A = this chain, B = another copy of it.
Amino acid sequence: MVKRTSLEAADCPIARSLDAIGDWWSLLIIRDAFLGLSRFGEFQRSLGLARNILAARLRTLVARDILRLAPASDGSAYQEYVLTPKGRGLFTVLVALRQWGTDSFFAPGECGNELVDREHGEPVRRLEVRAADGRLLRQGDTVLQRRTPRQAAARRRA
Binding site for B on A (CB under 8 A): 1-3, 6, 11-20, 23-25, 27-28, 31, 34-35, 48, 86, 88-106, 108-125, 127-135, 137-149, 151-153, 155-156
Contact = CB atoms under 8 A, between A and B. Distances in A.
Given A112-B147, A146-B113, A152-B110, A97 B14 contact: yes
Residue from A14, A110, A121, A132 having most chain B Cβ neighbours under 10 A: A14
B118 A104 contact: no
A102 B15 CA distance: 10
A49 B42 CA distance: 36
Contact of A101 (B14, B34, B88, B130): B14
A137 B124 contact: yes
Given A93-B93, A110-B152, A122-B132, 5 more contacts: A3-B48, A12-B113, A16-B106, A109-B156, A112-B146
A104 B131 contact: no
